[in-house]
């Protein structure tokens, strides 16, 4: 099983690199908003589809950020346990 910290580091690299996932999601969001601006107010079906698509992009972004955050927490826990173990050896 893959270490959560290692997994988070891989996702962070993919998410934060130039042209990475964050940039792709930003481009999609912008495209959805621009398309929504082009639609008429009466095109509720089109606006609803764009709204759903935008929510999916947000959910994907949130999922990637949660993977990164959980890996950071796992890394901090690992470091904390190592410090506790080190202190325990002195007693």
| Per-residue model confidence as pLDDT tens digits over 3-36 | 999 999 999 999 999 999 999 999 999 999 999 9
Q: What average pLDDT does the structure give for the chain?
A: 92
CB-based contact 11:71 (threshold 8 Å): yes
- Number of structural domains (the chain) is 1
Q: Per residue in 20-45, is it b (16+ CB within 10 Å) or e — as a string?
A: ebbeebeebeeebeeebeeeeeeeee
CB-based contact 79:16 (threshold 8 Å): no
Q: What number is the average pLDDT over the span 67-75?
A: 92
CA distance 58 to 2: 26
Q: What number is the average pLDDT over the span 62-87?
A: 91
Start-to-end CA distance of the chain, whole Å, equals 34
Evaluate if residue 1 carries a pLDDT over 60. Answer: no
Domain of 11, in residue numbers: 4-90
Model confidence, pTM: 0.79
């Amino acid at each position: 099983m893959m270490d959560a910290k290692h997994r988070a580091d891989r996702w962070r690299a993919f998410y934060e690199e130039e042209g990475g996932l964050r940039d792709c999601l930003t481009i999609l969001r912008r495209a959805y908003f621009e398309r929504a601006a082009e639609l008429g107010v009466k095109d509720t079906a089109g606006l609803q589809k764009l709204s759903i698509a935008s929510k999916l992009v947000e959910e994907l972004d949130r999922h990637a950020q949660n993977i990164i955050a959980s890996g950071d927490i796992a890394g901090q826990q690992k470091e904390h346990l190592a410090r506790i173990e080190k202190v325990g050896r002195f007693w």
